[in-house]
Amino acid sequence: MLLILEQVLNGLQLGVMLFLLAAGLTLVLGIMNLVNLAHGSLYMVGAFIAASAAQWTGSFLLGLLIALPAAALVGIAVEVIALRNLYERDHLDQVLATFGLILFFNEAVAMIWGPRALFIDPPSWLSGAVEILPGVPYPAFRLAILGIGLAVAGFLYWLVARTRLGMTIRAGASNREMAGALGIDIKRLYTLVFGLGAMLAALAGVMAGPIYAVEAGMGEQILIPAFVVVVIGGIGSIRGALAGAVLVGIADTLGRAFLPGIIGAFLGPAAASGAGAALASMAIYILMAAVLIWRPRGLFPAHG
């Protein structure tokens, strides 16, 4: 029972990380109709800059504070140089061009930081464990990720639903030309949204630092699940991204924790390591296929 609670929390924590990436992806997709495979690269760039900055300054928080604006700048540069020209193109062009960007970023990171994986130490006041229930310790850092993720979700909801900026974002999403005609600077708005998405991705990257290895190619490991989240949630919907992220995070974590055991109980230990592990790593894709069969437009379709 306690093991299940712990795994559910782990699943939520993975879900929160996925949400940070998926939120940026879904905004860019919903508003600019752009498939950005290079979103994972911004996550990676954020993690690398934070790792270096934290080493320099000796402080995780300073690393975070340097990495976020730096990644936002990288994102804005990418938008202005390359992606801006892709908004009017079809998805195929966008997939290919951003695939090219991934190759570039992975190689650039490997050249600058070398092929070895880096690690970021969590701040000392978050490195211990907290007793969530009497006798059940849980790493404080993972709890902090959960808290930050939920806070960001709340902030995004407030931003999109309650502020003037959010209003223009929604206007730009539902009718680009009309919003432009009404005096909204669409180009600047797009750059701004892209920078925001880049910052969220970098935030996820920094928080991933102490848990996973910081290495070239780390972006794609989480990018594809993040896309699964976007598609499950419904393209362009922040609410859908949150629901999808939690669903995918929990399905993946619980699948990996318990499926081999369950299958082993029925079919024996050999099947547990083979079929169980296979099913566990396939779980989120099966989930996505199932959702798309049931609802081809995702759980929370954003438009119409």
Partner 1 sequence: MSVPPYRAVLFAGLAFALALPLLAGVLGLDYAVGIATRILILALAGIGLNLILGFGGMVSFGHAAFFGLGAYTVAILSHHDMTGEAFATWPFEIGGTVAAILAWPLAMAVCALAALVIGAISLRTGGLSFIMITLAFAQMLFFFFVSLETYGGDDGLSLLARSSAGPLDLHDPAQFYFLVLAIVLLALAVTARWSRARFGLALQGIRDNERRMRALGFATTRTKLAAFVISGAIVGLAGALMANHTEFVSPSFLSWQRSGEILAIVVLGGLGTVFGPVVGAVVFFVLEEVLSQWTQHWMIVFGPLLVLAVLFAKQGLWGLAAQKLARHD
The beta-strand segments (E) located in the chain are 129-133, 136-139
Neighbouring residues of 151: CB distance < 8 A, sequence distance ≥ 6: none
From 16, 152, 288, 302, residue interacting with partner 1 (rule: CB under 8 A): 288
91 binds partner 1 (CB under 8 A): yes
Q: Which residues, listed in sequence order, are joined to residue 138 by a DSSP beta bridge?
A: 130
Stretch that binds partner 1, among 52-60, 78-86, 121-129, 190-198 (CB under 8 A): 78-86
User: How many binding residues for partner 1 (CB under 8 A)?
Assistant: 47
Measured CA to CA, the distance from residue 43 to residue 206 in angstroms comes to: 8
- Interface pick for partner 1 out of 289, 300, 302, 303 (rule CB under 8 A): 289
Contact between 255 and 248 (Cβ < 8 Å): no
Beta bridge partners of 136: 133
Query: Would you say 145 or 250 has its CB closer to partner 1?
Result: 250
Task: Give me the helices (H) in the chain, please.
Answer: 2-32, 39-57, 60-81, 91-113, 140-162, 164-174, 176-181, 186-208, 218-233, 238-267, 269-271, 277-294
Cβ atoms of 74 and 45 within 8 Å: the answer is: yes
**Beta carbon nearer to partner 1, 12 or 280:** 280
Closest CA to 50 of 218, 190, 162: 218
Minimum distance from residue 28 beta carbon to partner 1 (Å): 12
Our finding on whether 277 is near partner 1 (CB under 8 A) is yes
Residue closer to partner 1, measured from CB, 6 or 252:
252
* Phi, psi angle pair for 138, to nearest 5°: -140, 140
In angstroms, what is the minimal distance from the CB of 137 to partner 1?
31
Applying the rule CB under 8 A, the residues between 93 and 132 that interact with partner 1 are 93, 95-97, 99-108, 110-111
| 183 or 296: CB nearest partner 1 | 296
Tell the smallest beta-carbon distance from residue 227 to partner 1 (Å).
Answer: 6
User: Considering all CA atoms of the chain, what is the largest pairwise distance in Å, rounded to the nearest integer?
Assistant: 66
**What gap in Å lies between CA 97 and CA 61, rounded to an integer?**
34
Chosen residue from 56, 57, 292, 303 binding partner 1 by CB under 8 A:
292
**Is residue 4 involved in binding partner 1 (CB under 8 A)?**
no
Are 289 and 54 spatial neighbours (Cβ–Cβ below 8 Å)? no
Instruction: Compute the least distance from the CB of residue 280 to partner 1, in Å.
Output: 8
Buried b (16+ CB within 10 A) or exposed e, 101-126: bbeebbeebeeebeeeebebebbeeb
What is the pattern of x (binds partner 1, CB under 8 A) and - over residues 167-186? --------------------
Q: Is 253 in the site for partner 1 (CB under 8 A)?
A: no
Distance of closest approach, residue 69 Cβ to partner 1, in angstroms: 25
- C-alpha 16/C-alpha 19 separation (Å) is 5
Binding letters toward partner 1, positions 22-61, x by CB under 8 A: -------x-----x--------------------------
Residues in contact with partner 1 by CB under 8 A are 29, 35, 82, 85-86, 89, 91-93, 95-97, 99-108, 110-111, 220, 224, 227-228, 230-231, 235, 273-275, 277-278, 281-282, 285-286, 288-289, 292-293, 296-298
